[in-house]
Amino acid sequence: MSTILEMRGIRKLFPGTIALDGANLEVRAGEVHCVLGENGAGKSTLMKILSGSYQPDGGEILIGGSPVHIGSPVQGLAAGISVIYQELDLFPDLTVAQNLFLGHAPSRLGIVNGRARREAARGYLDRVGATFSPDAVVGSLPIADQQLTAIARALTTDARIIVMDEPTATLGEADVEAVCRVIRSLAAEGRAVIYISHRLAEIAAVGDRITVLRDGATVAHHEVATSNADDWIADMIGDKRKELTGIHAGAAPTGEPYLNIERVHIPGLIDVESIPVRRGEIVGIAGLGGAGRTTLLSAVFGARSSQHSITINGAPYVARSTRAAVRAGFGLVPESRKTEGLMLGLSVWRNAGIASIHRAPWIMPHTVGRRLSAPVIDGLGVKFARGSQAVGELSGGNQQKIVLAKWLTRGSTILLLDEPTRGLDIGAKADLYKQVRNLAETGAAVLVASSELGELVANTHRIVVLHEGRNIGSFDPRLHSEETITHAIISGKMP
């Protein structure tokens, strides 16, 4: 088998972080090559560079032995690279045949030859083993069939290199098998398949070779046939001991739980049981992407509906709506501060005060919001020019503090933080966690979901591990190493 793709020494910088530095990938024609790595190891960034969505800051890409420049996704397609994303980028209102040939439909003088298109589409659908009609509207198909449609579309451009980013994340077991069969047959045709998945069992079943990324660099290669999942996990985790900072949140507070999540259930997504949080306690929620961290927090906050049984201070709480949640003392720092956390066009004071102007007589909101939030903003050490400045003009760390200030101003007693440090630099991260610890010391119950385990280890009293929607157990970060916890996060098995 000959090498079809080589990525050498790929480097990619984002403001404040190094996403990739020294990432190598060598893929042969006719193999299924799996890329493994923890959250944030750089898998997606590497694939986006390959597809042409991102431009690398260093390194080179060779296809068939000759260097190529992939300046855009269109050039990527032309170079024979097709990416099937996890969130399928299909057009749900168009038919399968239309989706397959969008942009390159068989036509004459600008008039599409519908019959030729349908027949060609049927040919590609047969090759992926699909049994549905090319005239079916994509949005009406089950997810597994949509996945097959996306794969068939990759074939229509005659891609030699097909990248699949977690194609099975939303599929049931039977469907996973079908997709795996198709992947094998693509490789048998001599194409190269680059396969990204968190499900190690699948990789053992479908993969030929493995490249492991850690902290933006390639750290290991494995032959699937001669290695096992424990080897892979060891390389993904690396030697974390030297990274341990030794800063811990201190002894966990004792006493009755203040917030007690007895059960939260959304069929097909999450089924979480028994997460008690005491006053003054910071509980971390760890898990892979798609394990249900965000879903759990938004369900508890009433932002999405679920079957649940939750008590606050012993009294039952119903997450009927976000308003009910806020009234019950919850505050959510959502995953995306720009689209969910802040009103970017409005001022610092107005953003910080928006949750605290609900009291009668409902007048002078600016004065009230400013009076209540000013000391909070001051205490958090937010840097800004004027309180009337639009919050969108602040740096990421200061923006995140304003989201936090919104709830401190309100006097929320239960804080839910979802990836609170995303996009922040190291100083801002440390600062934010310091504020969260201060907050817990004043008696708040805090839940922090994060994909950065190191942060949780350093800043929480207890870490609950979610795996495929279930909480499989919890760890005391003072007693367990980061390696042990990571192993549980990836494998879904408690030690």
Which residues contact residue 140 at a Cβ distance below 8 angstroms, ignoring those fewer than 6 apart? Answer: none
CB of 343 to other proteins, least distance (A): 4
Please tell me whether residue 265 adopts helix, strand or coil conformation: strand
Nearer to other proteins, 312 or 490 (CB): 312
Q: Smaller CB distance to other proteins: residue 66 or 339? A: 339
Q: Are 485 and 453 in contact (CB under 8 A)?
A: yes
Distance of CA 422 to the CA centre of its chain: 11
Which residue, chain included where needed, has tokens 């000759």?
A: 66
CB atoms within 10 A of CB 121: 26
Judged by CB under 8 A, does residue 340 bind other proteins?
yes
- Please pick, from the candidates 81, 249, 266, 325, the single residue that binds other proteins as defined by CB under 8 A: 325
Give, as ranges, the residues between 361 and 380 that touch other proteins (CB under 8 A): 362-366, 369
Distance (Å, whole) CA 197 – CA 267: 23
Subset of residues 140 to 199 that bind other proteins, contact rule: CB under 8 A: none
Chain centroid to CA 448: 15
Closer of 313 and 322 to other proteins (Cβ):
322
Burial of 479 (0-12, 13-18, 19+ CB in 10 A): exposed
CA distance linking residue 157 with residue 83, whole number of Å: 11
When asked if residue 224 is in the footprint of other proteins (CB under 8 A), the reply is: no
Residue from the set 161, 178, 354, 402 that interacts with other proteins by CB under 8 A? 354
**Measured between alpha carbons, how far is 187 from 161 in angstroms, rounded to an integer?**
10
Q: Is 13 in the site for other proteins (CB under 8 A)?
A: no
How far apart CA 101 and CA 138 sit, in angstroms, is 13
By CB under 8 A, name the one of 69, 358, 434, 493 that touches other proteins.
Answer: 358
Q: Does residue 346 bind other proteins (CB under 8 A)? A: yes
Q: Dmax over Cα atoms in the chain, in whole Å?
A: 77
Structure token pair of residue 304:
């999405």
**Count of residues making up the chain:** 495
CB 363 → other proteins: shortest distance, Å? 5
- Using CB under 8 A, pick the residue from 22, 37, 284, 334 that binds other proteins: 334
Nearer of residues 101 and 349 to other proteins, judged by Cβ: 349
Q: Which of 61, 81, 296, 428 binds other proteins (CB under 8 A)?
A: 428
Cα–Cα distance, 425 to 396 (Å, whole number): 9
* Residue 466: CB minimum distance to other proteins, A: 21
Position 22 contacts other proteins (CB under 8 A) = no
339 lines the binding site for other proteins (CB under 8 A) = yes
> Is residue 434 a contact residue for other proteins (CB under 8 A)?
no
Closer to other proteins at the Cβ: 104 or 383? 383
Give me the least distance between CB of 454 and other proteins, in Å please: 22
Nearest partner of 450 among 420, 479, 409, judged by Cα? 420
Work out whether 326 is an interface residue with other proteins (CB under 8 A): yes
Cβ at position 231, least distance to other proteins in Å: 41
To other proteins, the closest distance from the beta carbon of 389 in angstroms equals 9
Q: Would you count residue 332 as binding other proteins (CB under 8 A)?
A: yes
| Both structure tokens of 343 | 């009103």
What's the number of CA atoms in the CB half-sphere (13 Å) around residue 192?
Answer: 23
341 makes contact with other proteins (CB under 8 A)? yes
Long-range contacts of 131-134, Cβ-Cβ distance < 8 Å, separation of 24 or more: 132/96, 133/96, 134/95, 134/96, 134/97, 134/100
By CB under 8 A, tell whether 406 contacts other proteins.
Answer: yes
Among residues 475, 487, 472, which one has the least CA distance to residue 291? 472
Decide: is 350 part of the binding site for other proteins (CB under 8 A): yes
Per the CB < 8 A criterion, the answer to whether 343 and 350 are in contact is: yes
Residue 298 Cβ, how far from other proteins at the closest point, in Å?
A: 9
Q: How far is the CB of 216 from other proteins (least distance, A)?
A: 21
d(CA 191, CA 178): 18
Is residue 46 within 8 A of residue 23, CB to CB? The reply is yes
- Please say which residue, 335 or 482, places its beta carbon nearer to other proteins: 335
How far does CA 321 lie from the centroid of its chain? Answer: 25
**Stretch touching other proteins by CB under 8 A, among 36-44, 305-313, 319-327, 444-452:** 319-327
Token pair recorded at residue 230: 């424990």
Binding other proteins (rule: CB under 8 A), the pick from 34, 50, 155, 342 is: 342
Q: Does 444 bind other proteins (CB under 8 A)?
A: no
In whole angstroms, give the CA distance from residue 463 to residue 480. 10
User: Could you tell me if 10 and 34 are in contact, meaning their C-beta atoms sit under 8 angstroms apart?
Assistant: no
- Residue with Cβ nearer other proteins (191 or 350): 350
Residues 381-400 that bind other proteins (CB under 8 A): 383, 385, 390, 393, 395, 397-398
Q: Which of 54, 232, 301, 433 binds other proteins (CB under 8 A)?
A: 301
Which amino acid is residue 142, in one-letter code? P
**Nearest distance in Å: CB 303, other proteins:** 6
Kindly indicate which of the ranges 17-25, 91-99, 283-291, 326-334 contains the residues binding other proteins, using the contact rule CB under 8 A: 326-334
Binding site for other proteins (CB under 8 A): 301, 303, 322-323, 325-327, 332, 334, 339-346, 350, 354-355, 357-358, 362-366, 369, 383, 385, 390, 393, 395, 397-398, 406, 425, 427-428
